[in-house]
Amino acid sequence: MSNRLEQLLEFLRMDPNDPFNLYSVAYEYMQQQDIGQAQAYFLKLRQSHPDYVGTYYHLGKLYQQQDLLDEAIEVFKAGIQVAQQQKDTHSESELKRALQSAEDEAWL
């Protein structure tokens, strides 16, 4: 385990209700290619903080990398709804591009 991950896990232990702490741990696991742990933390983040829009892009991409395209598409669509509710046009645009990519891949 890297020092960075240890530090992020400590931040999470100190404040487990902060969505950014969960996101940071999930993202670090993703960077370390630990798909299982990354996915677990992104799922926990989605469940406990469904309005944290950054979750949807990365969770969807993890599903897409695993060829779980139906799951990826569902996550991207959910994220688009969250982004629209928050009037976050940047995230909405990224999620729409990711959705299109997953849908295109599903048709192959």
The rounded distance, in Å, linking the Cα atoms of 40 and 53 is: 17
Q: Give the tens place of pLDDT for each residue, 10-53.
A: 999 999 999 999 999 999 999 999 999 999 999 999 999 999 99
The rounded distance, in Å, linking the Cα atoms of 1 and 83 is: 33
Q: Give the tens place of pLDDT for each residue, 68-86.
A: 999 999 999 999 999 999 9
Closest CA to 43 of 16, 52, 84: 52
Report residue 7 CA to chain centroid gap.
20
| Domain ranges within the chain, ordered by starting residue | 1-38, 50-108
Per the CB < 8 A criterion, the answer to whether 82 and 51 are in contact is yes
CATH number of 50-108: 1.25.40.10
Residue 2 has pLDDT above 90, yes or no: no
The rounded distance, in Å, linking the Cα atoms of 44 and 34 is: 16
